[in-house]
Each structure stands twice: as structure tokens, then as C-alpha cells.
Structure 1
Amino acid sequence: MVKEIERKFLVRDNTWREAVHKRIAIVQFYLAISAERSMRIRVSDGRKAKLTLKFGSDLAERDEFEYPVPLGDAAEMEAFAIGRIIRKTRHHVRHEGYLYEVDVFGAELEGLTVAELETPDRVPDELLPAWLGPEVTGQLRYSNASLALNGFPEPVH
């Protein structure tokens, strides 16, 4: 089991693209979603699939378990997906020794770009990169489960 502190941000501009060192095409879908747990399948680059179970209602810190799944099984389970199938490209970007995962969404979520920072401890704001926009940690509408169920998040005015 992995305990993580996950912070999520909208992205201010595209300057992060200069520091990309890895890209992963992701297709993911949910098999179960509730306020305190989720079960999803994620296929990376069409080559490997994982089942992820997350427990806890605090979006910033949850218990997470991951297991490999045969690609054929993942393809069959897609028929049981709840809501939208999420398609995105994840970009790995390093800044100040931390790894940021910048997700550029496609299909129905095109136009949404979100950066996540998962660490065992909280990173001070002064070490965050300038290309990050507003922090949306804990805002349910930006969780992948909510995106699958509800689509593109409505902006807060």
C-alpha cells in the first residue's frame, strides 16, 4: 500500500513542455465509484494495464493499491465502464527535484490540462513551478472519477 499526498493544479501556460522527459498515452475507466472508494483500470501506451483501488474520502491523501491486469482482461472489462472512458497523454516533468505529471486530456475532455504532484510530504509553495495555475486539490469536479461521471468541469466564478 502506498500513502500519498496528491496536489492538483490547473496549468497556466505551456512552458512546462520544454522540460518533458517522458510521455504516456493513457486510457482509463472506472468499474466502481463512491464517495470513499474507487476501482479503475488504466491502460498505458496500449502495452500494460493496471487495476487501481483507492480508499478514503480525502482526495489529497488516500490509501492506494495497484495490481497488473492482462491486456485482454482490461479490454473485456471496458464493457463494464461507468461513465466516460478517459483518454489523456501524461507528460513527466521534473522541477526542483519533484516529478509533476501533466495530463493533457483528449476526446470529450479536450482543452483540460491538469498537473499532479504526488509526494510523501507536502511541497512548499515557493518550490512550485511558475507554469502552475490555480490549485484545485480537493475540488471533486477535477478528480478523474468525477470527469468520468460528469465530463468537463464547470469553472467557478
Structure 2
Amino acid sequence: MGIEIERKFLVKSDVFKKQNYQKNYIKQGYLNSDKNRTVRIRILDDRAFLTIKGKSNVSGTSRFEWEKEIMLDDAKSLFLLCEDGSIEKTRYLIKQGQHIFEVDDFHGDNDGLMIAEIELFSENELFEKPDWLGKEVTGELKYYNSSISKNPFKNWK
């Protein structure tokens, strides 16, 4: 529990897939996707989590986050209560310098969308940018998972 500081970027190529040290399949849905707070159910391989995130600050880099691991069967049951539009993706973890990038390669209605996130200790922290990193989209609501679940990538064209 605490303040999450992260920046988001589009991904220009899938070169990162050769650099990952871990990958996981993720399915997530939203019990609430209000702009002031989101309540998410996530299944990560064979584990499950309930996450509550607050509203982002003005720059979009910081917001309150609370997360708790829950029973897998409970998560599957809670999916029945989720808003329309779940998200499925493969997450790749890539070490770059002193940081770890989480790159989400989306599936289904969001196929073709790839977003990288990096968690930081401060908003102005410097970090190494890999060649496959594209345009920064930090703070652009369109790229939040809760928005993608309602307006999938296939509708953006």
C-alpha cells in the first residue's frame, strides 16, 4: 500500500521479447472504473489479486495503490461482477540498468497494442531508455487499462 510512481510508453518493436527474464499471462476485469478510483480483479497465471487505485496526480505519474492477494476461486467468482470488457495480456519483465520495465502485449480486442511501464522512486528519477521504447503516454487516460477495457484498441483506428 502506498503511492505508485510510474511512467508509460508505447513500444516500437517486439525486440523486448528476447530480453525478458520472466513472462506471465494476465487476465483482469474492473469492479469499478470510476476516474477517481478503480477496483480491479487480476489473475496472474495461477495467483489472484484485488487492487484499488486512486486518481492520478496532475502529471499522471503518481497515485495511491492498494493490493491484496486473494484466493483464485474468489477472483474467478468476482469476475462475474465485473464491468463489461476484460483485458488479457502477456506481461514481460525486462531489466534495464537499475530498473525493470513491465511490457504488456495485449490480446483479443486489444491485439497489436504494446505498452511499457516503469516504476520509479521519484517523479524526476532518471532511467535508461531501451531502443524499443516509443512515445511516452504517461497521464493519457486512453492508455490506462481501465480505459482500454471499455474502448479497446481495435476501435481506435
Q: Does residue 96 of structure 2 align to residue 95 of structure 1?
A: yes
Normalised by the size of structure 2, how large is the TM-score?
0.92
**Structure 1 CA distance, aligned partners of 2:52 and 2:70?**
13
Structure 2 residue identity aligned to 1:91: Y
Pairwise CA distance, 1:130: 1.7
* Residues 69-88 of structure 1, C-alpha deviations (whole Å, 9 max, x = no match): 11111111111111211000
Q: Percent identity?
A: 37
- TM-score w.r.t. structure 1 length? 0.92
Number of corresponding residues: 153
Q: Measure, in 1, the Cα distance between the counterparts of 2:130 and 2:56.
A: 28
1:42: which partner in 2?
42
Contact 1:3 1:120 in 2 (8 A): no
Partner Cα distance (1:137, 1:83) in 2: 25
C-alpha contact 1:28 1:41 (8 A) present in aligned 2 = yes
- Tell me what 2:51 maps to: 52
Please name the residue that 1:8 is paired with. Answer: 8
In the TM superposition, residue 15 of structure 1 has moved relative to its aligned partner by 2.0
Q: Give the structure 2 partner of residue 154 of structure 1.
A: 156
Say whether residues 1:28 and 2:28 are aligned partners: yes
User: Cα distance, 1:124 vs. partner?
Assistant: 2.5
SS in 2 for 1:13: coil
Q: Deviations over 1:81-130 (max 9, x none)?
A: 112110000000011121000000001110001100011123436x2112
**Matched residue, 1:117:** 118
Matches of 1:95 and 1:2, distance apart in 2: 24
Distance in 1 of aligned mates of 2:96 and 2:41: 29
Letter in 1 for 2:27: V
Letter in 2 for 1:16: F
Q: Residue 154 of structure 1 aligns to which amino acid in structure 2? A: W
- Specify every segment of 5 or more residues in structure 1 that has no aligned partner in the other structure, as ranges: none
Code of the residue aligned with 2:69 in structure 1: it is P
Name the amino acid aligned to 1:143. Y
Give 3-state SS (helix, strand or coil) of 1:20's partner: coil
Q: Spell out, residue by residue over 1:17-73, the C-alpha distance to the aligned partner (whole angstroms, 9 max, x if none).
A: 22100001000000001111000011011x110000011233320010001111111
Secondary structure (helix, strand or coil) at the match of 1:16 reads helix
Deviation, structure 1 residue 149: 1.3
TM-superposed deviation, 1:131: 1.1
Instruction: Tell me what 1:75 maps to.
Output: 76
Give the letter for the 2:8 counterpart: K
